[in-house]
Structure 1
Amino acid sequence: MISRKITIFIRGETEADVEDAFNEAVDRLNAGCATGTDSNSTSGFTFENTDEVPPNEVPC
């Protein structure tokens, strides 16, 4: 079984800004980035991605 813990914080002035920031964060995760951050005048994100997941945090 593979477990990953991904924490993403997103901000935006509109729902569309939040969606755009989320999609950009996911694109970077899919590209293999373990961490990332970016922002502009209307949105931003930061994320961390690790495979070091404590057993008590693994769902089911």
Structure 2
Amino acid sequence: MTIFFLLIGLELEREIYHGELSSIKKISKIAIQIASLLSGIFGFIYLKYILAQKKT
């Protein structure tokens, strides 16, 4: 899981500096990708927390 998020971060960095997201006009795409990344991370943590509480 850690390697996956590391690769996502590296890909996002490459896109920001050299790819489609290098233009200021496309800042909304960056915000959407970061929001989806964070929601995926925190959604996973939240689900693990809920499932752990149901077991106890």
Shared fold (TM-score greater than 0.5)? no
Q: Higher relative CO (CA 8 A, sep ≥ 6), structure 1 or 2?
A: 1
For the aligned pair, the TM-score class normalised by the smaller chain equals 0.3 to 0.5
TM score, norm. by length of structure 2: 0.38
Richer in strand (by share): 1
Richer in helix (by share): 2
